[in-house]
A and B are shown apart, each in its own frame.
Chain A
Amino acid sequence: MGFPRYQNNDLTKGTNLAETAVFRAERIGKSYPGVRANDDVSFAVAPGEIHALLGENGAGKSTLVKMIYGLVRPDDGQMFLMGQPHHPADPRAARAAGVAMVFQHFSLFDALTVAENIALGMENPPPRRTLSDRITQVSHEFGLPLNPARRIATLSAGERQRVEIIRCLLQNPRLLIMDEPTSVLTPQEAELLFATLRKLAGQGTAILYISHKLEEIRAHCDRATILRGGKVMGSADPRAHSARELAAMMVGGQMREIDRSGRVAGDVLLQMENVSAPAPSAEGTALKGISLAVRSGEILGIGGVAGNGQEELLSVLSGEVLTRPGSVTLEGRDLSQAGPEARRLAGLLAAPEDRLGHAAVPDFSLTDNTLLTAGGRKVLVRNGMIDHRAARAFAEEVIKGYDVRTPGPGTAARALSGGNLQKFVIGREVMQAPRVLAVNQPTWGVDAGAAAAVRQSLLDLARAGAGVIVISQDLDELMELSDRFCALNEGRLSDPRPTEGLTLDEIGLMLGGAHGMAEAQI
């Protein structure tokens, strides 16, 4: 499949960026056990530039900026700040060198005032009154209205972010890193933020801007470095390229055609109609008017970048969160008001993403962990009394059927490797012969062999006539498994499209939210 590749070939604007760059990375690499998080990453950020780091979750953006900010040390390669070697041992050293970072999640004390919070983060805070004056001055200078005497508890998310930004600006940074800053902002607040960044860039500060929102980057960034799988895919002027082209670079193109024979789409089994649910927490995502239908023998794939409502969608399917009457029906039966156990008995099963602590209790044995979901459907519990022998037998059945490598059913779940526990969790649900099974990230952090086994079992389940919903961030996986594909974006689900014939460009746009949902984003 051919798509444009943008190499570092438009660095030729007369100046030598390698010498004038505020920050430069040369062949940076970082490995974690089993993962090459960054591989041979080179890029440069010019003074006064708003430079986007673009990539999907797991592309290596966070690892990269953590190395720049001194939170993680690179295994190999070199970094330069203002031409000097930059190898900070900790964030304090990075700050001293002129790097500042605004994190996605704020670290502020609710009970203290703005000025007190900022003083806490400084190595040698000036007297309180001087500091307050400085805060007022900087906030006026950059158009970030903020009263230093206000308590954090009374501030909105946007205002809290301003506190973090001003905290950074007081250090006079040469390089300001912003990690997905607009994810917590209203559109108006985001506009204000960009005006500030523009002003700051005008004074020569370089800004490294992390995001996966294509339109935002196209509107505001001067240059984008695109990461995929820990590698730099290219560097481009985002204004000169369409969102479609950027998405193609971000998502990548190694999609395999696979054989989907042997399965026949039958009657609709599960139907969700206009399901909305409030965000479960400040970091959660609200579900907005989600409708979907799953047929017998069909696998419905739901793609999307993490944090767009995947977990929330699974919890309204599993019954952990209840929705409006009539909004979730299985074979015509209303399950919207039924809890997890009642749904399992009716045939709607689920496997959440987080294996340790959600799909399984880490300190429980595998035998005990079967009781978590199979107690009723496999009759391991009678009149409330646990049949330990039956539970053990079922655990052994799952271990055998799914090739779970473990000393035995008495082993604690936490002692298993991620792949083996995932096989156990999926096996536990599949062996209960569900009518519909919903899984979230079925192969996340699982080695290739186990991932193949898990995918195969989902295909087999559908072949036997069940409906399967696979929520995943792994596009290859979704292309391999699903018959129809839809994208989850900020709690909204796009209309499903047949996976057959779906092009990479179309998928990228569905994920980025630039297609068909533009008006919903305001």
Chain B
Amino acid sequence: MMMLIPRTETSTGWQIATPIMAVLATMITGGLLFAIMGYDPVAAIRTIFWDPLFGPAASYSRPQLLVKAGPLILIASGLAIGFRAGIWNIGAEGQYIIGGICGAAVALAAYPGEHWWLFPAMIAAGAFGGWAWAMIPAMLRNRFGASEILVSLMLVYVAQKVAAWMAFGPLKNPEGFGFPGSRNLQQYPSASNPELIAGTGAHWGVFAAALAVLATWVLMSRHIRGFHIRAAGLAPRAARFAGVRPETLVAFCLGLSGALAGLAGIFEAAGPAGQITDSFGSGYGFTAIIVAFLGRLNPVGILLAGLLLALTYIGGELAQLTMQLPAATVQVFQGMLLFFLLGFDLLTRFRITRGVPA
């Protein structure tokens, strides 16, 4: 009979191995799924994981990697800090949407004036919007003990409604021939977030993501605040004894992750998306949860995981185009990835032995 025995120390080897195992298992299961559906599994996997980088159309899809990975990494870096402390912000998608709206609103208020300060002001407004949206669950948890998981998640749906309202109402492009959606910020030089290095897809948001990885690494491994966050996640009473006030920590972690999600939102609204539409939220906020866990809540891991998840986005689209795979493929892949990761995670904390129950 197989038994699970708790490990006395968490295994570092398995910590690195399990994400890789999860990716491989996702590929294999995905391949089987494609075979059952009547597609060539090898071709499908190659189209999703290989062709975006090295295939015939790679020159188009390669820059997309950074475009997609940027917001994922930016958001996941913030989420991981809260997750380390046991504070579960599931609503980054909502904070991303509100951040985008706030930043875009600043730009649209200044339209059509050209000012050097406009773009920095938009970034500040985006971060503020995400922060403020995240402070709602923070305050409700601190004041009434409401679950930040539920509140932040529910606020995503509120944010989506706000986005629709903005796209049809206050932020609607007056010269848009009645179509919903704001003016396109890409065509407004002071407000646009262009590709900075041609052919790479790198816009300001990508640099912000790189900076976030660096900053969160310093925070978590060198700063006392990061030490307190780790302590609170592992032993809340010990953290309290050290002098951490739980309320402060909740506000800090939700606020920081909200601000980073808001930043991702405004970089997207001013760059790749270009405008606020009713479908501005594109799922980055949810996918970033997978990125954070796949990256083991570690800044470097998140960097790699963000790139991988970005690859599944691009590869999935490519597979839709070239192989007519269903559009849900990407979501299925991302879901499987998280599923396998959590499953294999057991191996970092337990080892499997054969034996008889005691």
- A residues in contact (CB < 8 Å) with B: 318-320, 339-342, 344, 350, 352, 354, 356-364, 368, 371-373, 375, 381, 384-386, 412, 415
Given that A319-B243, A340-B242, A373-B242 are known contacts, is A357 also in contact with B237, CB under 8 Å in the complex?
A: yes
| Bound Cα distance A359, B239 (Å) | 9
- Smallest Cβ-Cβ distance to B8: which chain A residue: A415
Q: Which residues of B230-250 are within 8 A (CB) of A?
A: 230-231, 234-235, 237-243, 245
| Bound Cα distance A318, B237 (Å) | 12
Chain B proximity of A432: nearest CB distance (Å): 14
Q: Which 10 A-B pairs have the closest CB atoms?
A: A341-B243, A340-B243, A361-B235, A372-B242, A358-B237, A357-B235, A361-B238, A381-B224, A363-B234, A339-B243
Q: Is the CB of A384 within 8 A of B224?
A: yes
Q: Does B175 have its Cβ within 8 Å of any Cβ on chain A?
A: no
**Contact residues in B for A344 (Cβ distance below 8 Å):** 243
**Contact residues in B for A359 (Cβ distance below 8 Å):** 238, 241
| Bound Cα distance A386, B234 (Å) | 19
Chain A proximity of B303: nearest CB distance (Å): 23
Given that A319-B243, A340-B242, A415-B9 are known contacts, is A362 also in contact with B223, CB under 8 Å in the complex?
A: no
| Bound Cα distance A304, B227 (Å) | 36
Q: Is the CB of B241 within 8 A of A352?
A: yes
Question: Apart from A364-B234, A386-B222, what are 14 other A-B pairs with CB-CB below 8 Å?
Answer: A340-B242, A350-B241, A356-B235, A358-B241, A359-B241, A361-B231, A362-B234, A373-B241, A375-B224, A381-B224, A384-B223, A385-B222, A386-B223, A415-B9
Interface size on B, residues (CB 8 A): 20
**Contact residues in A for B222 (Cβ distance below 8 Å):** 385-386
Q: Is the CB of B9 within 8 A of A340?
A: no
- Smallest Cβ-Cβ distance to B245: which chain A residue: A339
**Contact residues in B for A356 (Cβ distance below 8 Å):** 235
Selected from B224, B234, B235, B245, the residue in CB contact (under 8 A) with A385 is B224
| Bound Cα distance A152, B239 (Å) | 34
| Bound Cα distance A352, B238 (Å) | 9
Q: Is the CB of B235 within 8 A of A362?
A: yes
Q: Is the CB of A368 within 8 A of B237?
A: no
| Bound Cα distance A381, B225 (Å) | 11
Q: Is the CB of B241 within 8 A of A364?
A: no
| Bound Cα distance A344, B238 (Å) | 15
Q: Is the CB of B8 within 8 A of A372?
A: no
Q: Is the CB of B242 within 8 A of A341?
A: yes
| Bound Cα distance A278, B245 (Å) | 18
Q: Which residues of B217-271 are within 8 A (CB) of A?
A: 222-225, 227, 230-231, 234-235, 237-243, 245
| Bound Cα distance A106, B76 (Å) | 42
Q: Is the CB of B238 within 8 A of A360?
A: yes
| Bound Cα distance A352, B240 (Å) | 12
Q: Is the CB of B234 within 8 A of A320?
A: no
- Smallest Cβ-Cβ distance to A321: which chain B residue: B240
| Bound Cα distance A359, B235 (Å) | 10
Q: Is the CB of B224 within 8 A of A371?
A: yes
| Bound Cα distance A212, B150 (Å) | 45
Q: Is the CB of A358 within 8 A of B223?
A: no
Chain B proximity of A497: nearest CB distance (Å): 31
**Contact residues in B for A352 (Cβ distance below 8 Å):** 241
| Bound Cα distance A344, B222 (Å) | 22
| Bound Cα distance A371, B231 (Å) | 10
Q: Is the CB of B231 within 8 A of A364?
A: yes
- Smallest Cβ-Cβ distance to B238: which chain A residue: A361
Given that A340-B241, A357-B238 are known contacts, is A412 also in contact with B223, CB under 8 Å in the complex?
A: no
Binding site of B, secondary structure by majority: helix, strand, loop or mixed?
helix
| Bound Cα distance A320, B235 (Å) | 15
| Bound Cα distance A339, B243 (Å) | 6
- Smallest Cβ-Cβ distance to B226: which chain A residue: A386
Binding site of A, secondary structure by majority: helix, strand, loop or mixed?
mixed
**Contact residues in A for B10 (Cβ distance below 8 Å):** 363
| Bound Cα distance A362, B222 (Å) | 20
Residue from the set A371, A372, A384 with the largest chain B CB neighbour count within 10 Å: A372
Selected from B9, B239, B241, the residue in CB contact (under 8 A) with A412 is B9
Q: Is the CB of A386 within 8 A of B227?
A: yes
Chain A proximity of B133: nearest CB distance (Å): 27
**Contact residues in A for B224 (Cβ distance below 8 Å):** 371, 375, 381, 384-386
| Bound Cα distance A381, B223 (Å) | 8
| Bound Cα distance A464, B222 (Å) | 35
**Contact residues in B for A386 (Cβ distance below 8 Å):** 222-224, 227
**Contact residues in A for B238 (Cβ distance below 8 Å):** 357-361, 372
- Smallest Cβ-Cβ distance to A372: which chain B residue: B242
| Bound Cα distance A487, B116 (Å) | 71
Given that A320-B241, A340-B241 are known contacts, is A371 also in contact with B227, CB under 8 Å in the complex?
A: yes
Chain B proximity of A410: nearest CB distance (Å): 12
Chain B proximity of A313: nearest CB distance (Å): 14
**Contact residues in A for B240 (Cβ distance below 8 Å):** 320, 340
Chain B proximity of A189: nearest CB distance (Å): 28
Selected from B225, B234, B242, the residue in CB contact (under 8 A) with A384 is B225
**Contact residues in B for A375 (Cβ distance below 8 Å):** 224, 242
**Contact residues in B for A340 (Cβ distance below 8 Å):** 240-243
Q: Is the CB of B223 within 8 A of A372?
A: no
The contact sample of 14 A-B pairs, CB cut-off 8 A, is A339-B245, A340-B241, A350-B241, A356-B235, A357-B238, A360-B238, A361-B234, A361-B235, A361-B238, A363-B10, A371-B227, A372-B231, A372-B242, A386-B222
**Contact residues in A for B237 (Cβ distance below 8 Å):** 354, 357-358
Chain B proximity of A206: nearest CB distance (Å): 34
Q: Which residues of B333-354 are within 8 A (CB) of A?
A: none
| Bound Cα distance A363, B231 (Å) | 9
Residue from the set A320, A344, A360, A361 with the largest chain B CB neighbour count within 10 Å: A361
| Bound Cα distance A375, B225 (Å) | 12
Chain B proximity of A370: nearest CB distance (Å): 11
**Contact residues in A for B241 (Cβ distance below 8 Å):** 318, 320, 340, 350, 352, 358-359, 372-373
**Contact residues in B for A384 (Cβ distance below 8 Å):** 223-225
Chain A proximity of B349: nearest CB distance (Å): 11
Chain B proximity of A323: nearest CB distance (Å): 16
| Bound Cα distance A91, B222 (Å) | 52
**Contact residues in B for A354 (Cβ distance below 8 Å):** 237
Chain B proximity of A462: nearest CB distance (Å): 23
Chain B proximity of A411: nearest CB distance (Å): 10
| Bound Cα distance A318, B231 (Å) | 18
| Bound Cα distance A133, B239 (Å) | 51
| Bound Cα distance A371, B245 (Å) | 16
| Bound Cα distance A341, B238 (Å) | 13
**Contact residues in A for B245 (Cβ distance below 8 Å):** 339
Residue from the set B222, B225, B242 with the largest chain A CB neighbour count within 10 Å: B242
**Contact residues in B for A363 (Cβ distance below 8 Å):** 10, 234-235
Chain A proximity of B180: nearest CB distance (Å): 45
Chain B proximity of A450: nearest CB distance (Å): 21
| Bound Cα distance A358, B231 (Å) | 10
| Bound Cα distance A381, B9 (Å) | 28
| Bound Cα distance A132, B71 (Å) | 60
- Smallest Cβ-Cβ distance to A358: which chain B residue: B237
**Contact residues in A for B231 (Cβ distance below 8 Å):** 361, 364, 372
Residue from the set A319, A368, A373, A384 with the largest chain B CB neighbour count within 10 Å: A384
Q: Is the CB of A368 within 8 A of B227?
A: yes
Chain A proximity of B86: nearest CB distance (Å): 13
- Smallest Cβ-Cβ distance to A338: which chain B residue: B243
**Contact residues in A for B227 (Cβ distance below 8 Å):** 368, 371, 386
**Contact residues in B for A371 (Cβ distance below 8 Å):** 224, 227, 242
Chain B proximity of A374: nearest CB distance (Å): 10
- Smallest Cβ-Cβ distance to A320: which chain B residue: B240
| Bound Cα distance A93, B245 (Å) | 48
| Bound Cα distance A362, B233 (Å) | 12
Chain B proximity of A461: nearest CB distance (Å): 20
